Chain A
Amino acid sequence: MEFEAGKIRSEIRAFIVDSYLLGDESVKFSDSDSFMSCGIMDSMGILELVAFLEQHFGVTVTDDEMLPTNLDSVESLVSFIRSKSNC
């Protein structure tokens, strides 16, 4: 199954706004902003994010893949999901 980048991006952003910002759309974050540095999520929040990715996109995230380069911004998530779905 292949995902289209724009769709992934908007779904991830919707999840972040809904689950971490709890609907507060006044908080602005760019696609490259680090979730941790911006205070959008804490380390426990990362697990929540992984659960969402697995459920929503049907991918499996291994321990080795739990790295900031894969998970810490919208941009990195989009390419991570795309790379997973291409395999």
Chain B
Amino acid sequence: MCGIAGYFQLEGTRPPDKDLIVKMISLIRHRGPDEFGAFLDNKCVLGHARLSIIDLSTGQQPLCNEDETVWIAFNGEIFNYVELRPVLEGLGHRFRTHSDTEVIVHAYEQWDRECVQHFNGQFSFAIYDMNKRTLFIARDRMGKRPLFYTVQNGRFYFASEIKALFADHSIKRELDAEGLDQVFTWWTCAPPKTAFGGIAELESGSYMEISEIGISTARYWSMEYPDHYDDSRSVGSWAEEVHALLVDSIRLRLRADVPVGVYLSGGLDSSAIASLVRSFTSNPLESFSIVFGDSAFDESSNQRLMAKQLGTTHHQVQCNYEDIAACFPNVIWHTERPILRTAPAPMYLLSRLVNDAGFKVVLTGEGSDEIFGGYDIFKETKIRYFWSKNPNSRSRPLLLKRLYPTLPLSKVRFNYFLEEFYKEGLTETDRYYFSHIPRIKATSRIKDFYDADFKSKSAASDSMNAFAHMLPLRFAQWHHVSRAQFIEAKSLLSGYLLSSQGDRMAAANAVEGRYPFLDHRVIELATRIPPHYKLFGLKEKWVLKKAMHGALPEAILKRPKQPYMAPDSRCFTQKQAPGYVKELLSEEKVKEAGVFNPTMVGKLHEKCLRQSQGQMSFRDNMAFMGILSTQMLVDQFIEKFNEREIHRVTNFNVWRDFTTICNGHETTKN
């Protein structure tokens, strides 16, 4: 993990703002506390905060090509750099370092924008091309590493995190009604939207070229499903290929000059990764897990089972209500958008545990559920699609009961209530978001709490269609479950699981997550596998389970999927709740923020306090979290941003200032 930031002068040249780049990098120093560097000339400024993982001694950034006309600031990893280097050397490129960063520079020289097609990795970078007088920025296929930008003051600013953009105080800090409305519909914004007005996010799988002539954006990769599937292959044959490719994906993701650990949730995906690592490396393996004080969320017995079976050195962090409440302000400082659950908070505590144990890199299981069909939303889609063919059927909706065998309500006759919930939009099968209608409907109930003014501001948002511009041409021809998988990957995976709950929580503690299931070769293989081999009846991830058969304990393979969740509103309504809760939810603060209705928020808070030990309804829980996190966002990023103490970086190990040196570059340590 690293952090990048900088700007490009859109018209003419101006002396660089050295103080600004120091401030920008200082605000994201948590992402890379090992070394800091900057490149400055009259057209472009690049800054870098480094977490040293590959080529510890010479991998400093910003870094350049042979004749120092192409400069890069890079966050992430190009895992196949070892294979790409000889190809580029064969084409005449000379290397000075052993880093993956330098591979990008030469690949850019060789293939221009299309260099990204050659990379297997997780990345966001900015390349300043002095010959073309352009800035080229790009992001990996699934959006594992973040990249934000804004065009103001005749400059194109970019950074790994929004807070670095706000280092320039002339950049307005205000909420974006449309961006927020998207969060309260989809759990995340659809790029380029963010929660802040005027601040944009580069979409995953896209790049952008910035020059005096203008700014052009293009999508270079997308998840694509076939219209028809190859039914001639057996599930066993697909499973074999999945296994082989996963092994190769993990092999590439173990490339590092520092030790690599694994997250163990106790579920199938992280267990599969840990077991594959174990099967072909003899290195000591260390694993990391969250233990919840609240047994409703705890999976520690399965975690210990796996750790024991694999013989890992196992680390655990205990997570109770008060731990979540205590770290919540930090969590929102890093998510930079409202969240509807507390689930990122334990991930923040987990990355802190990893950092404390002296680790910088962990392998983690994200993405498996999306590409192999693990989530209930895919089962719901299957049932709803089947039901929609005969909406008056009494027997078809009964399948819904099979989705929630463990729900506390299963004892009572709640079928009717379940049916009412899933009946929503049942006939709208041609909508691209058909699969997500029940979830969207449940999430959108937080909008009942909007203040009248905000309601009118957000009225024109059309958030339901926020992701429509990302759909591939043949989307409508795909299988209904494949369509659901695409939407889930573009929305919740990219914008929330890899971001708010992923990169941001890991980077906050200088930890880098690596995702073997999200190697694009694994994704592309998974898209070609027939849907019924992923979701066999209502059995999830069937082909993956086949691929892992024999390598994992039956208890792990056979256990029903337990979604990762954490206790929500009750963390903030206990007797010892931190003082900020009452303050942020006060009538005055809610009014100032201008998003929610202060009276309703007051009543909701009272209700949550009354029921702090009981079961809160989904709507109230989600509304409470959405409101509290929005209020926290306003407090930290709008009201008190300038009061925040910035720990300024003083030791820029690489400082290349082309405004004072005409020939060559100079490295100064100050």
Residues of chain A whose beta carbon lies under 8 Å from any beta carbon of chain B: 18-19, 21-24, 27, 34, 36-37, 39, 41-48, 51, 63-64, 66-68, 72
Could you say which of A42, A45, A67 has the most chain B C-beta atoms within 10 Å of its C-beta? A42
Does chain A have a CB within 8 A of B421? Answer: yes
Q: In the complex, what's the smallest C-beta–C-beta distance from B642 to chain A, in angstroms?
A: 34
Starting from the known contacts A42-B618, A44-B615, 10 additional A-B residue pairs (CB-CB under 8 Å) come to A19-B607, A36-B420, A42-B619, A44-B616, A44-B618, A48-B617, A63-B413, A67-B413, A68-B416, A72-B416
Complex interface: chain A residues within 8 A of B420 (CB): 34, 36-37
Q: Are A66 and B597 in contact (CB-based, < 8 A)?
A: no
Q: A23-B600, A42-B617, A45-B617 are in contact. Are A66 and B412 (CB under 8 A)?
A: yes
Complex interface: chain B residues within 8 A of A72 (CB): 416
Does chain A have a CB within 8 A of B603? Answer: yes
Q: Are B417 and A43 in contact (CB-based, < 8 A)?
A: yes
Q: Are B600 and A24 in contact (CB-based, < 8 A)?
A: yes
Q: Are B409 and A47 in contact (CB-based, < 8 A)?
A: yes
Cβ contacts B405-416/A at 8 Å (1 or 0 each): 000010111101
What are 23 contact pairs spanning A and B, CB under 8 A? A19-B607, A21-B448, A22-B449, A22-B599, A23-B600, A24-B600, A27-B448, A34-B420, A41-B619, A42-B442, A42-B445, A42-B618, A43-B417, A43-B418, A44-B615, A44-B619, A45-B617, A47-B409, A63-B412, A66-B413, A68-B416, A68-B417, A72-B416
Which bracket fits the contact residues of B? Answer: 20 to 34
Q: Are A44 and B411 in contact (CB-based, < 8 A)?
A: no
Which one, B416, B604, B617, contacts A41 given CB within 8 A? Answer: B617
Which one, B441, B442, B603, B611, contacts A23 given CB within 8 A? Answer: B603
Complex interface: chain A residues within 8 A of B617 (CB): 41-42, 44-45, 47-48
Q: In whole angstroms, what is the CA distance A87 to B611 when docked? A: 31
Q: In whole angstroms, what is the CA distance A63 to B415 when docked? A: 12
Q: In the complex, what's the smallest C-beta–C-beta distance from A23 to chain B, in angstroms?
A: 5
Q: In whole angstroms, what is the CA distance A72 to B619 when docked? A: 17
Tell me if B's interface is mostly helix, strand, loop or mixed: helix
Within 8 A of A (CB), among B414-462: 414, 416-418, 420-421, 441-442, 445, 448-449
Q: Are A67 and B416 in contact (CB-based, < 8 A)?
A: yes
Which one, B445, B449, B614, B616, contacts A39 given CB within 8 A? Answer: B445
Q: Which residue of chain A is the closest to B413 with respect to CB atoms?
A: A66
Q: In whole angstroms, what is the CA distance A39 to B543 when docked? A: 38
Q: In the complex, what's the smallest C-beta–C-beta distance from A18 to chain B, in angstroms?
A: 7
Complex interface: chain B residues within 8 A of A68 (CB): 416-417
Q: Are A22 and B607 in contact (CB-based, < 8 A)?
A: yes
Q: In whole angstroms, what is the CA distance A51 to B614 when docked? A: 11
Q: Which residue of chain A is the closest to B449 with respect to CB atoms?
A: A22
Could you say which of B416, B417, B619 has the most chain A C-beta atoms within 10 Å of its C-beta? B417
Q: In the complex, what's the smallest C-beta–C-beta distance from A3 to chain B, in angstroms?
A: 24
Complex interface: chain B residues within 8 A of A27 (CB): 448
Within 8 A of A (CB), among B607-638: 607, 611, 614-619
Complex interface: chain B residues within 8 A of A23 (CB): 599-600, 603
Q: In whole angstroms, what is the CA distance A48 to B599 when docked? A: 21
Q: Are A45 and B619 in contact (CB-based, < 8 A)?
A: yes
Complex interface: chain B residues within 8 A of A48 (CB): 611, 617
Q: In whole angstroms, what is the CA distance A66 to B616 when docked? A: 18
Complex interface: chain A residues within 8 A of B616 (CB): 44
